[in-house]
Every structure is written in structure tokens, then in C-alpha cells.
Copies of this chain bind each other. A is one copy, B any other.
Amino acid sequence: MTYEVKSLNEECGVFGIWGHPQAAQVTYFGLHSLQHRGQEGAGILSNDGGRLNRYRDTGLLAEVFKNPSDLEKLTGSAAIGHVRYATAGTASINNIQPFHFEFADMEFGLAHNGNLINAVSLKAELERNGAIFSSSSDTEILAHLIRRSHNPSLMGKIKEALSTVKGGFAYILMLEDKMIAALDPNGFRPLSIGQMANGAWVVSSETCAFEVVGAKWVRDVRPGEIVIIDDSGVHYDSYTDDTQLAICSMEYVYFARPDSVIHGVNVHAARKKMGRRLAQEFQHEADIVVGVPNSSLSAASGFSEESGLPNEMGLIKNQYTQRTFIQPTQELREQGVRMKLSAVSSIVKGKRVVMVDDSIVRGTTSRRIVQLLREAGAAEVHVAIGSPELKYPCFYGIDIQNRRELISANHTVDEVCEIIGADSLTYLSLEGMIEAIGIDTDAPNGGLCVAYFDGKFPTPLYDYEEEYIRSLEEKTSFYIDNVKKG
């Protein structure tokens, strides 16, 4: 049995609002600030007095809503929205969220960020009992569980469904008379509650959306929590007590926007601290620090301040890199690489450069950047990575490459250093990263999920269990086909 889970794994962004006359428009602006979490597709579902309307399509938010009338039709004072991560080949509109489920007796909308780890077995069991799925997304499972629950109350059905799915999830449901947000028992994915000046409640994957729509942060949704928002206000409930915070550490390292605050920690500040700590652990002589734009600029800044080395703009990112349809021919391939990033010769020439990056996945990009710096005249290139070695896949919502592709799953630090052509290679230690982020010193791993670094998954692996065990036995051949970044 091969696991074709390619379209199940996804990093996405969700947003919801209750109580604003331009609910869909506010959602549009909220999603715009979450665009970095997903570029494959986007959608908004609005609630106009209990009647739900939805519009969705593939592409960036601005492409999906290029016709303003498509947004204007989404009338009503409540709405939820979703941006979806780009995975190659399966850009079917069927998988674009929010989903909209309609029945003779009710209707509801559903948006989901995360990845279930018992999706395959749940789906198989549901199908054996007559269920028909209309997408290849695991998000639909929750809807089937809700509709098939024998619990007499709708809230009871929803809690029962939430207790049945396993893995990482941040859900927003739009019912006819209320909006519901729910988080998995480990809080793998971020989800925050805010409030606008007019009293409207908003829910968002990241707090950066609150800035954009003019809302104030109220509090983060907690593991195992279910938040009910209706015209009477916000109510916090839970569907389980068996919780333990293990927020994805990669949100701090790479995914989230630097101006977001997750569990009380500003992402830029965390990255800067990781850069400072990395500088402490770094043991080489150098002249300047160069961050790989844009995600590593914060870490480079911290590294520079701690080390005293000047922080220079030795690498320039072209602002117009999104989606070109022209592929360089074989002869021009090396040039094509330089479309995204250029090294500034007048800065790096003759210098011993510390190149700060957030992570190394397959190593190919790092190798090219090292080469760019050398061609621009760098005397030495010391690579410093603001996180530990990536050795294990993630099952809770990030689409880390399968182990066969993870360079650190198959090579030692020295080997990687040689492969990428660097003069030295330094990873931030796991302890260093946990301390630098510093959410909660009392919790295991400081409240973080660090399984991609140490292989210790905070939950059973359900459908992935067998593969994982196999992977321990034959390390480098560990292979989950088609697990894409997401």
C-alpha cells in the first residue's frame, strides 16, 4: 500500500468574522495578510441572516476576486475565509476552501488549517458506510462525522466529531446562527481571537490579520478548545481535557509573518533571538553577516548584533518572482536561478561571509546561494542555520519533504557542508532554539512541537504508524510517496 497523501497535507490560513456589515470585505483584507500561508487558491463564505454564500477559485486572493462583484455578492454580517497552499498538479477547484455543505434542513461552511493523521482510515470507514466524498481533502471528513453523529444536539455532534479526528487542526465552522473555532488537543497550528472597534469578533491563523483589519488581539485559542461566537458574544468551551501545547516550531522559524504574535511571542523577536543564540554557538572568523531574504533577515539581524559583525545586504531578492511561465532552457538554467536572488559583488567581494538562513531542506537552494556568493567574490562562505537539522517529516500540517529528500536525514553535518560547498556549516542547537523562542519553560520542549528535529512525535501516528516504524529500521530509505511541502 502506497500512501498517496499529496493533497491531504497542507499549510493554510483561515480567517473568520462575526458581526460586521462588510464581513466579506473584512475577510478579504484578513486573508490578504495571510496570503503567505497559501497561494494555490482562496475562498470566502458569508452568512447573510442564516443563508450562506460562497465564492472560491484557484490562484492568489487578488486573482480569485479580480471581479469585485464576486465579493459584493457575499453579503451578510459574518464570513469565513481560507487561503490554500500550492501543491503541484492537484489545483482542482474541488479542494479549495471554505467548503459549503447544504442540506434540506441546514447548511454550514468549513475552513481548515492542518493535517489529520487518521484521515485514511476514517475515510475508508465512512465510505464503507455509504459516504461519498466530493474532494480529496481530509477536511470533508469532519462534515461527514458531524452529519452521522447520533448525538441529539448540534454542538454535541460537533464535539463528537472533533474528538474523532486526530492530528493537527484549526477549524472555523460557519453555522446559520453562530461561528465556531476549534483547535486540536496539542494546538499544533496557531489560531487567535480578536475584536474590532465596532464589537465584531474575528478569528485568524495569525495576528498580523488583526493589524490589517483594525482589530485588537483578545487571546489565542487553546489546545482542545472550542470557541462559539454568536450575537451574544464569545463563549469558550472544550471538547477534551487531554491537552498539551505543542505548537509547531516551524511557525516561528519560517512560516509565520514576522509581525505576528503567537502564544505571546513576536515572530520577528523570536527569530532575532534565534540569530543571537546562533551567533553564540557559531565558532568561525568572519567579516560580515548576510541574511537570505526575506525570511532570514530577522535572524541575520540578531546574529549581527550578538557577533558585532556588520549586517550587510549582500543578497537581493527580486520583488517580481511570482510565477513566471517561461522555463529557462538547459543552457540558461543557471541564469534562471538568478532571477530570484542576486549577490551584490561590491559588498561581498573579498569578505568572509556568514550566510544566515532559516533552514535547509534538500540543500539544493543553499548550494546555489553559496555559489552565487562565491561568484560575487566572497572569500569564504560560512553557512549558519537558525534552526536544528531537519531529519523527520511532519504529520500535523506542514508539508516537509519525505525523508528520502531531507538532506539531513541522510547526511551528517560535515557531509551537508561539503555538498552545499560551504566553508563551514552551523545549525542552531535544539536547546538553543527552544530557549530562544521561549513560550513556556515548564512545558515539554517549551510548548513546541520539534518532532522534525528529534523524531519524537507528541501523538500516536495512526495511519502513519507502520511507515514510521519502518523508517526507524531502514533510515535513509524511509519514504512516504508524494508528501509535498504544505
Contact = CB atoms under 8 A, between A and B. Distances in A.
Contact of A144 (B22, B132, B294): B132
A152 interface: no
B269 A346 contact: yes
Interface string A335-371: 1101100111111000000000000000000000000
Interface string A120-156: 1001100101111110100010011001100000000
A132 B100 CA distance: 11
Interface string A180-213: 0000000000000000000000000000100111
Contact of A294 (B129, B213, B319, B335): B319
Nearest to A83: B320
Nearest to A293: B294
Interface string A199-229: 0000000001001111000000000000000
A329 interface: yes
Contacts of A342: 33, 208, 211-212, 257, 259
Given A25-B332, A143-B132, A65 B346 contact: no
Contacts of A312: 301
Residue of A65, A105, A140, A147 with most chain B CB atoms under a 10 A cut-off: A147
A209 to B, nearest CB: 10
Contact of A261 (B123, B259, B310, B346): B346
- Contact-residue bracket for chain A: 35 or more
A104 B127 contact: yes
A130 B102 contact: no
Chain A residues touching B, majority SS: mixed
A314 to B, nearest CB: 9
A104 B1 CA distance: 12
Contacts of A297: 313
A345 to B, nearest CB: 8
Contact of A132 (B132, B208, B212, B269): B132
A334 interface: yes
A68 to B, nearest CB: 6
Contacts of A311: 301, 311
A347 B301 CA distance: 13
A25 B33 CA distance: 34
Nearest to A266: B346
Given A29-B332, A331-B22, A344-B266, A325 B66 contact: yes
Contacts of A336: 29
Nearest to A104: B124
Given A29-B335, A35-B320, A329-B22, A268 B104 contact: no
Contact of A335 (B67, B127, B129, B212): B212
A268 B344 contact: yes
A298 B147 CA distance: 54
A232 interface: no
Contacts of A443: none
A62 interface: yes
A71 interface: yes
Contacts of A134: 132, 134
Nearest to A24: B326
A305 interface: yes
9 contacts: A35-B319, A60-B320, A211-B342, A214-B334, A258-B344, A259-B342, A259-B345, A268-B346, A297-B313
